[in-house]
A and B are shown apart, each in its own frame.
Chain A
Amino acid sequence: MSKRIVPIGPYHPLQEEPEFFKLIVEGETVVDIEINIGYNHRGHEFLSPSLTYDQIPFLVERICGICSNSHPLAFVLAVEDMAHIKVPERALYIRTIVHELERIHSHLLWIGLAGHFIGYNTIWMWAWRYREPVLDLFEMITGNRNHYAMNKVGGVRRNIYHDQISHIEKVLDLVESKVSMLTKAVLDDPVLHARLKGIGILSKEAAISYGVVGPTARASGVAIDVRKDDPHCAYDKVEWDIVVEEAGDIFAKAKVRLLECFESIKIIRQCLKNLPDTPIEIRIEELPAGEGIGRTEAPRGEVFHYIRGNGSHHPVRHKVRAPSYMNLPSNEVTVKGHSIADAALCLAAIDPCYCCTERVAVFEDGKLKYTWNDLLLFSWKKTEQIRARLRK
C-alpha cells in the first residue's frame, strides 16, 4: 500500500507547546512520525539577560500558561542556589501549596481534554467544572486565576492569612469528592478500559532511553519525581507517595494523573496545618557572581533552570529545559503501529494542553482528505463501536 502523509499542526495540535507532526500512514496505520517544533518561539532565554532578577519570574511565568508556577519556582531556586540564600520556612510552605494547587488544576485539565478526544465530552465539562473552584482559590491566594506571580528571589510575594485557611480546606474537600467521583467514573467504565488499555504503550526501557519525565515516566514504571529525589520547598516535611503504574499505556497515564491529584490534596492539607510562623521573604541586597541550578516537578515532569550571574542585577546566561521537550520524542514509539483513530489520543497522552484549534489535514493528490475534525470523529466512532460491542 502506498504511504501517505498526515500533517498535524502546524502550531496548535494537542500539545502544550505548538508543534508540527507529520504522520506517515499506510492505509489506517501510522508507520512513522516526524516532529517539528518552533512555532511558539518567543526568545525567553534571549530576553532574560536584559531583565533584572526581580523581573524575570514574570517573564518565565509566561513560558507556559499552565505550568505558570513551576517555571518561576525553578528560576528562583536557581538564583537561590547561586547566591546561597536561605528562604524563610513559611515561604517554602506557601510555595508548596501553590505548586500543588497548580498540579491539581493541570491534571484536571488533562483529564477533561483526554475525555474530549475520545468523545466523552461529559468528562471534559465535568473536569473543567471542578477545576473552577481551584482557580478561584488561586484568585484568592495569589490575585490571579492564572499567572500567579507568587515566587520571588528570597520568598513569596503574598501571604496566606489565617482566615483563608478554613476556606481553602473547604474547597479542597469539595475538589477531593469530585475528583474521586471522576476517578471512579473513569476507572470503572468498561468502555474506557477497552478504549485506552494497550494503546500507546511506552515500555519501561523506552521510557528510560528516551529520558521521559513526570507522569509519562511514572506511568511506565519509572519512579522518578524531583519532589522526592531532590527535595525542595517543603516536600521533605510532609508525607506523600509517588504514584507509579507499570503498564505504560494511556490508561496508566490517566490513572497516574488522577491519583496524583489526591496526593496533592494530601500535601496541601498538611502544609496548611503546619504553616510555620515566620516572615514570608528576606531582603536581598546583592547577588554574587556564580552559577546555580534549580529544578522542580511541574505537572508534566521536571523543569530545569540554569543561571549564571556576574554580580550585577542581570544574569548573563539563563537556560530553561521544559518537560514536554523531553516527552515529545517518545511519541515516536507510542504512535507507531496504531490506527489514525488512536493517533490523536497517543499524541495527547504525554500532555494535551489542548489550547485551541488543532489543524489536521490529510492531503491526497493535493486535495484535502481528512481534517482534524475527521480525526476526532474517527476517535469518537471507535469509542462508539467499543461501547456498542460491550453492550451486547
Chain B
Amino acid sequence: MKDLRLLALKKSPWVFHVAAASCNNCDIEILDALTPRFDVERFGIVLVGSPRHADALLVTGVINRKSLPRVLKVYEETPKPCLVIAIGTCACDTHMFKNSYNVVGPFDKYLPVDVYIPGCPPKPEAIILGVVKALQKL
C-alpha cells in the first residue's frame, strides 16, 4: 500500500505553498515557475489551494512565533507520506533573522525537511531542480 502511494506521489506531485514569515520573493519565484517561461505544469506539478490535497509542501521564510502554530497545523493536515521542500535561505537556516526576538527557528527544527533549496531567492530553475531531486529520493 505504501509503495503504491509513493508511486502515485512520483507521477504528478501536487504542491501546497506554506509561507511563514517570508519576504515574498521566494513565493513569487514559486509562482513564476508556473508561468509560461518555466511552466512546471508540464510535469504535472500543480499548486493546490488546500494542504489536504497536497503531496508536497513548499515552505518559505522563517517561522515566527505567530506563524508557528499555523505551520504545524498545515503539516498535520497534509496526508502522509508527504515531502517537505524548504525553499530559500530563510527556510533552510533562518538567514539574517537568526538573532531576532520573534523568530523561533528554521523549518527543520519542527518539520522533517526532505530537500533544501538555498538561495535568496533561488531561481525558478533551482526550485524545479529541487522538486525533481525530491521526487528522485522517493
A: residues with CB less than 8 A from B are: 10-12, 16, 18, 38-43, 46-47, 50, 58-59, 62-66, 68, 109, 124-125, 128-129, 132, 145-147, 353-357, 371-373
Return chain B residues, CB-CB under 8 Å to A42: 21, 62, 64, 97, 100, 102-103
Do B66 and A357 touch (CB < 8 A)?
no
Do B21 and A146 touch (CB < 8 A)?
no
A365 to B16, CA, bound (A): 27
Shortest Cβ distance from A65 into B: residue: B25
Q: Is B67 an interface residue (CB 8 A)?
A: yes
Do A355 and B101 touch (CB < 8 A)?
no
Do B100 and A355 touch (CB < 8 A)?
no
Return chain B residues, CB-CB under 8 Å to A355: 19, 22, 24, 27-28, 31
Query: A128 and B64 in contact (CB under 8 A), knowing A11-B70, A16-B24, A43-B101?
Result: no
Do B26 and A65 touch (CB < 8 A)?
yes
Return chain B residues, CB-CB under 8 Å to A145: 29, 121, 123
A328 to B64, CA, bound (A): 22
Return chain B residues, CB-CB under 8 Å to A59: 96
- How many residue pairs link A and B with beta carbons under 8 A? The number is 120
Stretch in B32-40, B78-86, B107-115 with 4+ CB within 8 Å of A: B32-40
Shortest Cβ distance from A40 into B: residue: B21
Main secondary structure of the interface of A (DSSP, over half): loop
Give B51-106 interface residues, CB cut-off 8 Å to A.
60-62, 64, 66-67, 70, 95-97, 99-103
A373 to B47, CA, bound (A): 12
Do A68 and B25 touch (CB < 8 A)?
yes
Give B1-42 interface residues, CB cut-off 8 Å to A.
16-32, 35-37
Return chain A residues, CB-CB under 8 Å to B26: 65
Interface-centre pick from A46, A47, A50, A129 (highest chain B CB count, 10 A): A47
A16 to B126, CA, bound (A): 24
Do B121 and A129 touch (CB < 8 A)?
no
Query: A146 and B18 in contact (CB under 8 A), knowing A39-B66, A125-B35, A373-B49?
Result: no
A sample of 15 inter-chain contacts (CB < 8 A) reads: A12-B27, A18-B21, A38-B66, A41-B66, A42-B62, A62-B95, A64-B24, A65-B24, A65-B25, A66-B25, A128-B35, A146-B28, A353-B28, A356-B19, A356-B60
